[in-house]
């Protein structure tokens, strides 16, 4: 589990990444659906987003298993207003990224990779 000082560092990083990439937010939650750290636009509920991520991943894993596939890396929800992408970073963490409609999926995947690498680095330091 990440220490409080590392969580504060991660929140600062989330804020910078959200602003630099014109995102609506980032959230790190545990696989049980509890929020750990986030930086979200006003009006986005952290608890609901974290719980939804866990539920969506559970449903996705069941679906993947039912069709004979192994593992689930990402769930991408697309609406006319943008994307919500949930990515499982480890057995412990799920990352949620919320973007506006004009976002490019390739750029969002690069952002997810950057955040994932940063979290892994914090866990090992």
Domain count, the chain: 1
CATH of the domain at 58: 3.30.450.30
Residue 114 tokens, joined: 């950057």
Residue 30 included in any domain: yes
Residue 24 included in any domain: yes
Residue 124 included in any domain: no
As a whole number of Å, the CA-based R_g of the chain is 14
Alpha-carbon distance of 74 to 85, in angstroms, equals 7
SS3 (DSSP) at 35: strand
The confidence band for 3, taking pLDDT boundaries of 50, 70 and 90, is confident
The confidence band for 123, taking pLDDT boundaries of 50, 70 and 90, is confident
Residue 125 included in any domain: no
- Which helix H or strand E contains 122, and what residues bound it? helix 105-124
Residue 57 tokens, joined: 């991943």
Considering the entire predicted model, what is its pTM?
0.92
Q: What pLDDT sits at residue 47?
A: 96
pLDDT tens digit string along 31-69? Answer: 999 999 999 999 999 999 999 999 998 899 999 999 999
The whole domain housing 36 covers 4-117
Residue 110 included in any domain: yes
Residue 111 included in any domain: yes
């Amino acid at each position: 589990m990440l220490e409080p000082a590392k969580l504060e560092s991660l929140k600062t990083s989330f804020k910078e990444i959200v602003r630099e990439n014109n995102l609506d937010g980032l959230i790190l939650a545990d696989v049980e659906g509890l929020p750990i750290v986030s930086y979200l636009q006003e009006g986005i509920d952290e608890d609901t987003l974290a719980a939804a991520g866990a539920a969506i991943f559970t449903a996705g894993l069941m679906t993947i298993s039912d069709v004979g596939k192994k593992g689930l890396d990402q769930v991408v929800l697309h609406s006319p207003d943008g994307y919500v992408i949930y990515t499982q970073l480890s057995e412990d963490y799920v990352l949620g990224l919320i973007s506006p409609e004009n976002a490019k999926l390739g750029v969002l995947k690069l952002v997810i990779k950057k955040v994932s690498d940063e979290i892994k680095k914090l866990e090992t330091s």
